[in-house]
Amino acid sequence: MTAAKPPAYKRVLLKVSGEALMGEREYGLDTATCRRIAEDVKGVVDLGVQVCLVIGGGNIFRGVSAAAAGMDRAQADYMGMLATVMNALAMQSALESIGVVTRVQSAIPMASVCEPYIRRRAERHMEKGRVVIFAAGTGNPFFTTDTAAALRAAEMRCDALFKGTQVDGVYSADPRKNPRAERYERLTYLDMLARDLQVMDAAAISLARENRLPIVVFNIHEPGAFTAVMKGEGRFTTVVEQIQ
């Protein structure tokens, strides 16, 4: 009997876009989708991996879009941060409904609904096996939730940053629009920046590079993909400092 393959990492951060929570809806939250993603997270937790999350807010409000329409950018970004708190609470509910102990920490203090972000407390939660969801981005306007994910992953001393996307890795173009798009198995941070592969923004990639934090890109919509990728199985792209 073949022994089960151990997980490739011991502590990871999963970045999920707000749009990933919509399911087939055009706006807002789909509870079935939230539960499916929660089950994927539970599968990784059950492997003994410490997990934290950052969730975007684009399914509710996008600060950049509102700013482009004439709203003050800082004000729009703060509204977007509040949208991420709503998504974090929804994901907490989904995780706890299947027995995963979870804490939400917000970069914007709101003690009535969640904890304030405190790095050492977050680490302690993870050491006890709790999933920590970081909400409200970095707490500052002009920064994306991708940058917040890279920042929190570095602060938590994660072994890797997992980015759940719409497709199974990084491509030279959107494969849903261009069937000839090339898929990459491994890339360097500089490849991502030089080729303008818009999986994450430049600030997030640069932050990951400075902290030698591998980025693993996979399809968040494929059930069980997070667990499979954690074992080194399935289809994904890994972004590192140098390709061996």
CATH number of the domain within which 108 lies: 3.40.1160.10
Mean pLDDT of all residues belonging to the chain: 94
User: Per the domain annotation, does 54 fall within a domain?
Assistant: yes
Q: Is 165 annotated as a binding residue?
A: yes
Longest CA pairwise span in the chain (Å): 63
User: Per the domain annotation, does 22 fall within a domain?
Assistant: yes
User: Per the domain annotation, does 197 fall within a domain?
Assistant: yes
pLDDT confidence of residue 198: 84
Q: ∠ at Cα 149 (87, 166), nearest 5°? A: 65
pLDDT confidence of residue 77: 94
DSSP 8-state symbol, 233? -
50 with 78: CB under 8 angstroms?
no
Q: Give the mean pLDDT of 5-33.
A: 92
Residue keyed to tokens 């299947």: 98
pLDDT band at 242 (very low <50, low <70, confident <90, very high): confident
User: Per the domain annotation, does 2 fall within a domain?
Assistant: no
Q: Give the mean pLDDT of 156-175.
A: 94
For the segment 184-208, what is each residue's pLDDT rounded down to a tens digit?
999 999 999 999 888 899 999 999 9
Give CA separation, 57 vs 68, 70, 136, 226, in Å: 17, 19, 9, 21
Q: What are phi and psi of 152, to 5 degrees?
A: -65, -35
Kindly give the residue spans of alpha helices, DSSP state H, lying in the chain: 31-45, 63-68, 73-96, 119-127, 145-155, 189-194, 202-210, 225-230
- CA dist., res. 19 & res. 27, Å (int): 8
Which amino acid, residue 72?
A: D
pLDDT band at 2 (very low <50, low <70, confident <90, very high): low
Q: Is 77 annotated as a binding residue?
A: yes
Q: Dig out the tokens for 122 from the structure.
A: 């977050």
pLDDT at 84 exceeding the cut of 90: yes
Q: Is 102 annotated as a binding residue?
A: no
pLDDT at 8 exceeding the cut of 90: no
Select the more confidently predicted residue: 173 or 156: 156
pLDDT at 1 exceeding the cut of 70: no
pLDDT band at 163 (very low <50, low <70, confident <90, very high): very high
Residue keyed to tokens 């055009």: 26
Q: Is 15 annotated as a binding residue?
A: yes
User: Per the domain annotation, does 188 fall within a domain?
Assistant: yes
Question: In the chain, how many domains are there?
Answer: 1
- CA dist., res. 65 & res. 40, Å (int): 30
pLDDT confidence of residue 4: 65
Q: Is 145 annotated as a binding residue?
A: yes
Q: Is 226 annotated as a binding residue?
A: no
- CA dist., res. 95 & res. 90, Å (int): 9
Select the more confidently predicted residue: 174 or 92: 92
Q: Is 58 annotated as a binding residue?
A: yes
Closest-CA residue to 166 (of 217, 237, 235, 220)? 220
pLDDT confidence of residue 7: 87
Q: Is 188 annotated as a binding residue?
A: no
- CA dist., res. 154 & res. 158, Å (int): 6
pLDDT confidence of residue 217: 97
pLDDT confidence of residue 97: 98
Q: Is 157 annotated as a binding residue?
A: no
List the end-to-end C-alpha distance of the chain, in Å, as a whole number: 32
Task: Please state the pTM of the whole predicted model.
Answer: 0.94
Select the more confidently predicted residue: 242 or 209: 209
For the segment 61-77, what is each residue's pLDDT rounded down to a tens digit?
887 787 778 889 999 99
pLDDT confidence of residue 3: 57
User: Per the domain annotation, does 1 fall within a domain?
Assistant: no
User: Per the domain annotation, does 56 fall within a domain?
Assistant: yes
User: Per the domain annotation, does 113 fall within a domain?
Assistant: yes
Q: Give the mean pLDDT of 212-241.
A: 95
Residue 46's domain spans which residues? Answer: 11-240
- CA dist., res. 8 & res. 157, Å (int): 15
Q: What are phi and psi of 134, to 5 degrees?
A: -90, 120
For the segment 89-121, what is each residue's pLDDT rounded down to a tens digit?
999 999 999 999 999 999 999 999 999 999 999
